[in-house]
Structure 1
């Protein structure tokens, strides 16, 4: 959070983040990563995999199965071009940061062990390779049908880095393994939403408001399938920064003082 918010709001960059969920012994579990402290945004925070849209994510040559860009555009309130890029960014970032690939040889199958795509994964991270190029080279189909729209959060005005982030939900693919082989995280793990929220409450992890609220929402569902089948509204959620006693705080819609804050 900035010590002094900017007087001229930064235009938010489109971004995508994905909550990978599975059923564990204690109920629904979600995949989390603790970001390295050197990151320019959300340093040291515990987050879901995700990141900013790359211009090449809008490539129309991507082989695609599932709801098309028009369907996603209607849910997220954006153009089909941006919607296409958001879905591709969700798939790409999830693969880059966790090794989980939501793609398969055809519209009814998914890849299993993704370790043999390690070189391509590194190429995507380095931006030497685009998602479209990778999928075409491996003759893979992007499985948009495995993603669900969840929410839309925008970084508050005043922050030096702002993102218009669409949150997606996806079930962890059978046969694949989510790992911590990314330079952006110091650790990665599965936890129930309740465990993650307890860690936050007791100071064992740090959560940005969108992550905290999303975990609270996921905690309302007893299984991965229940979460995936839930109906969601996609209103943009834009918190506000307010200064109290010399410190800046984030206020969420519905909290006391939000409507009065400028």
Structure 2
């Protein structure tokens, strides 16, 4: 068997949940027909980590339990970059702000200029790491994607105002969680949605985080608990 030479990029996706206790809805958008990865599919806002994301100041970091699980089986110090990428991708693809009022220390990078102009510093407050999956071999693009769940009341902007969104996703809308499978979803998104549905009653970090690790040799379903292999030994 020939090894898949497609590089695997670290990525972050954000599942924004609205009306958790009554009629839960999630924010989704549709990828373009010409997209190289998952064309026409409805997905969560998200994308690859930019090397500069590691330098972005956060008003508040990720919950320590989530941070430990994010660090498991990952490159050293990748967690803050993934968290910043989640905030940035949500902003770029929806125009929604996860941040706290404040001024940046230094000059924001080009990807963050418009975000900084809103008067906010990105914040991970409220983000919960709930899922991880590596794209299987044979796909045109592959990602090691981390999925973060956040309640819409954590947004520092109007949840219905997508006027500042870029054009990466179309048909942005709040989809009732119970009817989400009626739209065209990638398989992994369906799996993530099942995990979210099971977390509605508990907004805290999950007991463990599911991890679909797909390599050229095997596909494994693992659980991340925040302990590195060395620490466990």
Structure of larger gyration radius: 1
Structure 2 regions of 5+ residues with no counterpart? Answer: 103-107, 223-233
Question: For the aligned residues, what is the CA RMSD?
Answer: 3.1
In structure 2, the partner of 1:236 is 211
Give distance in 1, aligned partners of 2:52 and 2:110. 10
Choose from 189, 192, 195 the match for 2:179. Answer: 195
- CA 1:207–1:138 in 2, change beyond 3 Å: closer, same or farther? closer
In structure 2, the partner of 1:30 is 26
Note the alpha carbon deviations across 1:142-191, whole angstroms, 9 max, x for none.
22122110110100022231000000011112651342743122311111
What are the within-5 Å matches in structure 2 for residues 33-182 of structure 1?
33-59=29-55, 62-67=57-62, 72-76=66-70, 77=72, 78-105=74-101, 129-131=110-112, 140-172=120-152, 173=155, 175-178=157-160, 179=162, 181-182=165-166
- Deviation, structure 1 residue 209: 1.6
Give distance in 2, aligned partners of 1:229 and 1:239. 27
Contact 1:15 1:89 in 2 (8 A): yes
Count matched residues.
209
Structure 1 regions of 5+ residues with no counterpart? Answer: 107-123, 200-204, 242-250, 255-262
Contact 1:28 1:221 in 2 (8 A): no
Contact 1:7 1:158 in 2 (8 A): no
Choose from 179, 188, 195 the match for 1:217. Answer: 195
Whether 1:15 and 2:15 are equivalent positions in the alignment is: no
TM-score, with structure 1 as normaliser: 0.68
Contact 1:152 1:234 in 2 (8 A): yes
Give distance in 1, aligned partners of 2:93 and 2:2. 31
TM-score, with structure 2 as normaliser: 0.76
